[in-house]
């Protein structure tokens, strides 16, 4: 098959591994810089332009869209969808996952375990909001933060009030969330491919830190999932409509709760912690699910 990886940097571990895994299985791979793609959106034969030429009709596209380019990146993925190209994650599902509020609303509707979470735009609602999530200590989160930046732990009600007021004063949208203390600074990253958890790791925050992000100095190791954790991850991926994703779970005293679902999960941490060929499993998923363009009726002639 002919596969494109949408990525800003061919040297990133995840990009390199996906290319390597696809080539090892006999596919032809192009790494396409997402921001260098452009398009004539009104053409009746939609195409993606790249360096002055039309990109070929790929059999599959693997979007690796960083959170800093969500808007443009999803427009490019959507253009490939207009060309009937199989995209490993759909643009709409990527957009959904980039907004923590929207994600939690969708997960909640499906009855998936979540930390108690509130949202408001006016400071006069703060006290009720804090009470609703069970009081301090609590976590305050920017809607579009990533890598642990924009996640604050407020130990007391007073601290929570002033942090919330400060964020609202800056017109930043925030979530107010129950602090899952019993997780002890650990979370579980479940890597889901095609409705199955193919690898899982436990990430432990650095000493004195509650955020387990590897970018914040967390360490990762292989973990065996309970049935409940596995089901939570699979249901969360399904609710978000993501075929490949990382579902982050905290172990709370009211069962596993989903913190977030990542639509371009990194491969380095999970492959190193688990020793699994996750890139190969993604390629295998594509082989089973993407119909080669040349075998489709619209691809002939
Ligand atoms: N409600 C919570 N209770 C306890 N720890 C939390 C909570 N929310 C986030 N954390 C910790 O902070 C980290 C970052 O939060 P997260 O919501 O995943 O934001 P980001 O998108 O920046 O990674 C998580 O990996 C987890 O370790
Ligand atoms: Mg996170």
Nearest ligand to the CA of 212 is: 1
Q: Is ligand 1 within 6 A of the CB of residue 180?
A: yes
Superfamily holding 117-179:
ATP-grasp fold, A domain (3.30.1490.20)
Name the residue at shortest CA distance from atom 10 of ligand 1: 211
44-71 mean pLDDT: 95
User: How many angstroms separate the CA atoms of 107 and 238, rounded?
Assistant: 9
- Assigned token pair, 255: 């069962």
CATH 3.30.470.20 domain extents, the chain: 182-283
Instruction: State both tokens at 132.
Output: 């609703």
For residue 261, is pLDDT > 80?
yes
Q: Which residues of the chain are in CATH 3.40.50.20 domains?
A: 2-95
pLDDT (tens digit, 9 = 90+) per residue, 226-249?
A: 999 999 999 999 999 999 999 999
Give the right CATH number for 2-95 from 3.40.718.10, 1.20.1370.10, 3.40.50.1980, 3.40.50.20: 3.40.50.20
CA-closest residue to ligand 1 atom 12: 211
C-alpha 103 – ligand 2 centre gap (Å):
13
Please tell me the distance between residue 128's alpha carbon and the centre of ligand 2 in angstroms.
Answer: 26
Specify the DSSP element, H or E, that contains 2: strand 2-6
| Cα–Cα distance measured from residue 289 to residue 87, given in angstroms and rounded to the nearest whole number | 10
Pairing, β 2-6 against β 28-32: parallel
Cβ(98) – ligand 1 distance below 6 Å: no
pLDDT over 80 (residue 299): no
Q: What is the pLDDT of residue 301?
A: 44
CATH 3.30.1490.20-classified regions of the chain: 117-179
Does residue 298 surpass a pLDDT of 80? no
Q: Which CATH number fits domain 182-283: 2.70.98.40, 1.10.1040.10, 3.90.1530.10, 3.30.470.20?
A: 3.30.470.20
Protein residue closest via CA to atom 24 of ligand 1: 211
Q: Determine the average pLDDT of the residues in 30-59.
A: 95
Q: How far apart are CA 166 and CA 164, in angstroms?
A: 5
Is the shortest distance between the CB of 176 and ligand 1 below 6 Å? no
């Amino acid at each position: 098959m002919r596969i494109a990886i949408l990525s800003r940097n061919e040297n990133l571990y995840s990009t390199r591994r996906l290319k390597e895994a696809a080539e090892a299985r006999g596919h032809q791979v192009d790494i396409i810089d997402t921001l260098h793609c452009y398009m004539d959106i009104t053409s009746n034969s939609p195409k993606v332009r790249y360096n002055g030429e039309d990109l070929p009709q790929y059999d599959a596209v693997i979007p690796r869209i960083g959170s800093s380019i969500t808007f443009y990146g999803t427009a490019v993925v959507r253009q490939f969808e207009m060309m009937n190209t199989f995209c490993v994650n759909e643009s709409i599902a990527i957009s959904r996952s980039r907004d923590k509020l929207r994600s939690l609303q969708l997960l909640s509707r499906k009855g998936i375990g979540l930390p108690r979470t509130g949202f408001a735009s006016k400071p006069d609602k703060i006290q009720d909001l804090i009470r609703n999530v069970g009081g301090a200590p609590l976590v305050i989160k920017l809607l579009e933060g990533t890598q642990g930046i924009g996640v604050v732990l407020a130990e007391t009600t007073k601290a929570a009030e002033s942090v919330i007021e400060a964020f609202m004063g800056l017109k930043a949208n925030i979530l107010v969330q129950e602090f899952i203390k019993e997780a002890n600074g650990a979370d579980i990253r479940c890597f889901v491919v095609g409705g199955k958890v193919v690898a899982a790791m436990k990430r432990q925050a650095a000493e004195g830190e509650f955020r387990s992000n590897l970018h914040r100095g967390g360490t990762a190791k292989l973990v065996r999932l309970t049935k409940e954790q596995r089901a939570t991850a699979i249901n969360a991926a399904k609710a978000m409509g993501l075929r490949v994703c990382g579902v982050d779970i905290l172990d709370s005293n009211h069962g596993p709760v989903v913190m977030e679902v990542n639509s371009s999960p990194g491969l380095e941490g999970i492959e190193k912690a688990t020793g699994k060929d996750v890139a190969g499993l993604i390629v295998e998923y594509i082989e089973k699910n993407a119909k080669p363009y040349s075998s489709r009726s619209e691809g002939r002639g």
